[in-house]
Homo-oligomer: A and B are copies of this chain.
């Protein structure tokens, strides 16, 4: 049996179309039902945090109010689609967990209430609501709760265009393109049983599922049921399929449309949407699919037979996505075969046979009656290996994926369904899946600060985009390196750089904050206490100030400075010569030098957004707290295990380093790595409190006296700022502000928001959500 069309492959090689063949557009849709802490179907409404489910592009409900649907945009790579799905999974899990709910990780439903207690999704749309009720009556609500993954795929347009050109281009391009997709659809329908075997993962179901299935199933514990060797309930007759088989021509778009129209006319289908083919032919707009198909042709294919895999947090692994992609390419490069009604029937039989008996090794391939299904499956994979060898010899990872598939075919106990089943046997259907649900939710929480697939962006931007996705605001990255995005909701566009550089602040406001001298002038004009002092433009002028300040603690610093260069602090007695020297140093760094009173107290960052202080943070230098047992070095290692700590600013906190600076600091304090600090003794390892050198961020939002909050807001207003970080020196945050116990040091126009979301100690202040509240007017959401 030779399946590959070697002439076709030769054409691709000759025209170097390999890369373009490998490209394509990918989108994923995934359903999961919500469950409560006990694994019962959650009867609560779709969470408000996700906004209007009719308008949300990514997070909706499917049939039931309790059935969430996560939809990725279309991407140019599998990786992007997969990571976006992961982000949706994380976002949804995070939100649900706050309400004690989880995403059920199986395609088969959890513990269900009575049929009529299953809530149908409220769409606030009479037509949509009516449609759901009709389906409920026809198929049963329980059946409708079966969940799965839809895999949307199209070839790279450029690839098809080139191919069309190569083939002579005499045919109309639309017809050529349709022919390609219909070929793939035919082949895919014929061989779908293989992918169902490789992706099936719903072998067991709960006793609360449909009576007829329970009645005919086996059970070991009277809690859950199964059919021997069944790997996907969802793809079985107990699953979701048309009540009687629907067969239409796949020879061309025209014939396909003709047949479907006829079925609708005969009332065998409510609408084209009710045609539950495992492979759907899709158009771009999808409003009037049949008409669009005739006019514009096929836009993409939708594979609908993929189970949720409870072995993976996101319901599917990236390698499975790649395998399916390869299978699709194989379906294109395979020789064409007729696909008559008879052929379709045989494909359906293969499908059902696979479902009920699995790859048991003694099933004949109905189509190739001299072959076992297992043999056919292995042949296909081997042909795919040949395809890879001929077209993508340098892509090692593909070989691995195909090897894995072969192993699963040869050893059915390695298939997902088998593994899931054996795990269930060790505990129970409900316990196993509920534990998985909770485990995955925890994983989502831990990765909460990260937007999978966008880890190259700053944390603040990742958090903002996740919040946007959560509430259905679309985004587009305009400049990745610069963290420059545009957010879109309806007609409302917002351009945002680095999460907090937005249209909410005017340019002049930013310029005020950027300039220390101007900031001070503006703040003090508004009656806000700033370090008093003077500005000098010449050394001579500066030196004359000694008599004025003698004896007072002061700081001398260049107007613009980084890393503390050129700064001298005098907090003890100092001579005229000392001061002259300090000015001389400062003037080597800038033409303008500031003399400021030295401020006492501790520094706090107030994150102001609109009329509100969203969070207050205090930073503490890298430190460990003794337990009387472990050495400083051991305590550092222990503290560094916190998943919030990483390296290279990809996490909210940085690992404490065991470097020279830390060692020197310890030495200067007569300590060493192997000292064992007393219980509760705090050992500092750095002078500076930067997060980037292992410092801790401590949330003080609920500690700080409200008077300081007011001052922070006044400071922001004085500068005209909507979003800013106000840095304040405060003697004691619990004591009300007076004229002398605080001072505003500076205002920052690009405050990091992630530090307020993931502090070392304290609550997530959801600063990312606040940015969106302000940008998209909270009231409208």
Q: Hey, which bits of chain A sit against chain B, CB under 8 A?
A: 478-479, 481-482, 484, 494-497, 501-512, 515, 517-518, 521-522, 591-592, 720, 749
Instruction: Tell me if B511 and A495 are in contact (CB < 8 A).
Output: yes
Given contacts A503-B720, A507-B502, contact A518 B478 (CB under 8 A): yes
In the bound complex, residues from chain B placing their C-beta under 8 Å from that of A494 are 508
Given contacts A481-B591, A521-B478, A591-B481, contact A508 B515 (CB under 8 A): no
Instruction: Tell me if A484 and B592 are in contact (CB < 8 A).
Output: no
Instruction: Tell me if A484 and B506 are in contact (CB < 8 A).
Output: no
Instruction: Tell me if B517 and A749 are in contact (CB < 8 A).
Output: no
Instruction: Tell me if B479 and A518 are in contact (CB < 8 A).
Output: yes
Q: How far, in Å, is A524 (CB) from chain B's closest CB?
A: 12
Given A495-B512, A495-B518, 12 more contacts at CB 8 Å? A478-B515, A478-B518, A479-B518, A484-B518, A495-B720, A501-B508, A501-B511, A502-B506, A502-B507, A503-B507, A503-B508, A506-B506
List, sorted by A's number, 25 A–B pairs whose CB atoms are closer than 8 Å: A478-B518, A478-B522, A479-B515, A479-B517, A479-B518, A481-B591, A481-B592, A482-B518, A484-B511, A484-B518, A494-B508, A495-B518, A495-B522, A495-B720, A497-B511, A501-B507, A501-B508, A502-B507, A502-B508, A503-B507, A503-B508, A504-B507, A505-B506, A506-B506, A507-B507
Instruction: Tell me if B592 and A515 are in contact (CB < 8 A).
Output: no
Q: Which 10 A-B pairs have the closest CB atoms?
A: A503-B506, A495-B508, A503-B508, A478-B518, A505-B507, A497-B511, A507-B510, A502-B508, A479-B517, A501-B507
Instruction: Output the residue of A482, A495, A504, A592 with the most chain B CB within 10 A.
Output: A495
In the bound complex, residues from chain B placing their C-beta under 8 Å from that of A501 are 507-508, 511
In the bound complex, residues from chain B placing their C-beta under 8 Å from that of A510 are 507, 510
Name the CB-closest residue of B to A520.
B478
Name the CB-closest residue of B to A16.
B547
Q: How far, in Å, is A244 (CB) from chain B's closest CB?
A: 49
Name the CB-closest residue of B to A497.
B511
In the bound complex, what is the Cα–Cα distance between A495 and B496 (angstroms)? 23
Which listed residue, B509, B517, B591, touches A507 by the CB 8 Å rule?
A: B509
Instruction: Tell me if A508 and B518 are in contact (CB < 8 A).
Output: no
Name the CB-closest residue of B to A591.
B481
Instruction: Tell me if B515 and A482 are in contact (CB < 8 A).
Output: yes
In the bound complex, what is the Cα–Cα distance between A503 and B720 (angstroms)? 9
In the bound complex, residues from chain B placing their C-beta under 8 Å from that of A521 are 478
Q: How far, in Å, is A550 (CB) from chain B's closest CB?
A: 15
Q: How far, in Å, is A502 (CB) from chain B's closest CB?
A: 5
In the bound complex, residues from chain B placing their C-beta under 8 Å from that of A496 are 508
In the bound complex, residues from chain B placing their C-beta under 8 Å from that of A481 are 591-592
In the bound complex, what is the Cα–Cα distance between A515 and B511 (angstroms)? 18
Q: How far, in Å, is A546 (CB) from chain B's closest CB?
A: 13
Name the CB-closest residue of B to A511.
B497
Which listed residue, B484, B503, B508, B517, touches A509 by the CB 8 Å rule?
A: B503
In the bound complex, what is the Cα–Cα distance between A720 and B591 (angstroms)? 36
Name the CB-closest residue of B to A519.
B478
In the bound complex, what is the Cα–Cα distance between A509 and B484 (angstroms)? 12
In the bound complex, residues from chain B placing their C-beta under 8 Å from that of A515 are 478-479, 482, 484
In the bound complex, what is the Cα–Cα distance between A497 and B510 (angstroms)? 11
Q: How far, in Å, is A128 (CB) from chain B's closest CB?
A: 32
In the bound complex, residues from chain B placing their C-beta under 8 Å from that of A482 are 515, 518
In the bound complex, what is the Cα–Cα distance between A515 and B501 (angstroms)? 14
In the bound complex, what is the Cα–Cα distance between A648 and B573 (angstroms)? 46
Instruction: Tell me if A749 and B479 are in contact (CB < 8 A).
Output: no
Instruction: Output the residue of A478, A505, A592 with the most chain B CB within 10 A.
Output: A478
In the bound complex, what is the Cα–Cα distance between A704 and B753 (angstroms)? 47
Name the CB-closest residue of B to A506.
B503
Name the CB-closest residue of B to A482.
B515
In the bound complex, residues from chain B placing their C-beta under 8 Å from that of A504 are 506-507
In the bound complex, what is the Cα–Cα distance between A499 and B720 (angstroms)? 18
In the bound complex, residues from chain B placing their C-beta under 8 Å from that of A512 are 495
In the bound complex, what is the Cα–Cα distance between A518 and B497 (angstroms)? 11
In the bound complex, what is the Cα–Cα distance between A503 and B507 (angstroms)? 6
Name the CB-closest residue of B to A723.
B507
In the bound complex, what is the Cα–Cα distance between A478 and B479 (angstroms)? 34
In the bound complex, residues from chain B placing their C-beta under 8 Å from that of A509 are 495, 503, 507
In the bound complex, what is the Cα–Cα distance between A720 and B502 (angstroms)? 12
Name the CB-closest residue of B to A495.
B508
Instruction: Tell me if A506 and B507 are in contact (CB < 8 A).
Output: yes
Q: How far, in Å, is A473 (CB) from chain B's closest CB?
A: 15
Name the CB-closest residue of B to A750.
B507
Instruction: Output the residue of A494, A505, A508, A522 with the most chain B CB within 10 A.
Output: A508
In the bound complex, what is the Cα–Cα distance between A481 and B497 (angstroms)? 28
Name the CB-closest residue of B to A502.
B508
Q: How far, in Å, is A231 (CB) from chain B's closest CB?
A: 42
In the bound complex, residues from chain B placing their C-beta under 8 Å from that of A506 are 502-507
In the bound complex, residues from chain B placing their C-beta under 8 Å from that of A508 are 494-497, 501-503
In the bound complex, what is the Cα–Cα distance between A591 and B456 (angstroms)? 15
In the bound complex, residues from chain B placing their C-beta under 8 Å from that of A484 are 511, 515, 518
In the bound complex, residues from chain B placing their C-beta under 8 Å from that of A497 are 508, 511
In the bound complex, residues from chain B placing their C-beta under 8 Å from that of A720 are 495, 503
In the bound complex, what is the Cα–Cα distance between A506 and B511 (angstroms)? 11
In the bound complex, residues from chain B placing their C-beta under 8 Å from that of A592 are 481
Name the CB-closest residue of B to A485.
B518
